Amino acid sequence: MPMPLADLESHLRAAFPDAQIAIDDLAGDGDHYKARIVSAAFAGLPRVRQHQLVYAALGGRMGGELHALALETAAP
Amino acid sequence: MTETTEAPGAHDFIAKTVADNEVVLFMKGEPDQPGCGFSAIVVQILDHLGVDFAGVNVLESDSLRQGIKSWSDWPTIPQLYVKGEFVGGCDIVREMFQSGELKTLLAEKGLLSN
């Protein structure tokens, strides 16, 4: 079951209120997105930890509602 | 013979696998026939760098497929482990490969033959 882009964006904005967020819908099916997130929350963390924060923001939906989310994360 | 929930056996298997093999890729499908594009990308990168690795097909077991996600607190496959440490999935491996970090990491750990 896909996730609308607006829902994905609102989950991410809720978790990273300071962030610059850009989301691309890669396949037009609501199931393959690419998100670039720049947030101070990522400062000093290894990439694995940064991405784990994003997955946590999605509250377990990754792998369920959402099949593929390509992530690019960085601190400002 | 169905395993629908993650059994303690899965974590034991994962622990042993990453301890016994220096580079392990938990993936969908087999290294010579990946079952998904993301797994295929990581295989391609490892082959390009000339790294020996153990490919573990999580599609063979539901308990393994769930167990690897709870083991690493990471919701997706593929997952690359180097000397027991979770390095990342497709996005991270690709980013590290493009920046040269992956080659450096593997070389530092004595895992590159060339």
- Residue A63 with chain B: CB contacts under 8 Å: 69, 75-76
ipTM confidence score: 0.87
Give the SS3 label for residue A71: strand
Residues B60-104: tens digit of each pLDDT: 999 999 999 999 999 999 999 999 999 999 999 999 999 999 999
pLDDT mean across residues, chain A: 93
- Residue A68 with chain B: CB contacts under 8 Å: 38
Residue B88, chain A, CB below 8 Å: the answer is yes
Of the candidates B38, B92, B96, the beta carbon closest to that of A51 is on B92
- Residue B76 with chain A: CB contacts under 8 Å: 62-63
Is this prediction's pTM over 0.80?
A: yes
SS (H, E, C) chain B: CCCCCCCHHHHHHHHHHHHHCCEEEEECEECCEECCHHHHHHHHHHHHHCCCCEEEEHHHCHHHHHHHHHHHCCCCCCEEEECCEEEECHHHHHHHHHHCHHHHHHHHCCCCCC
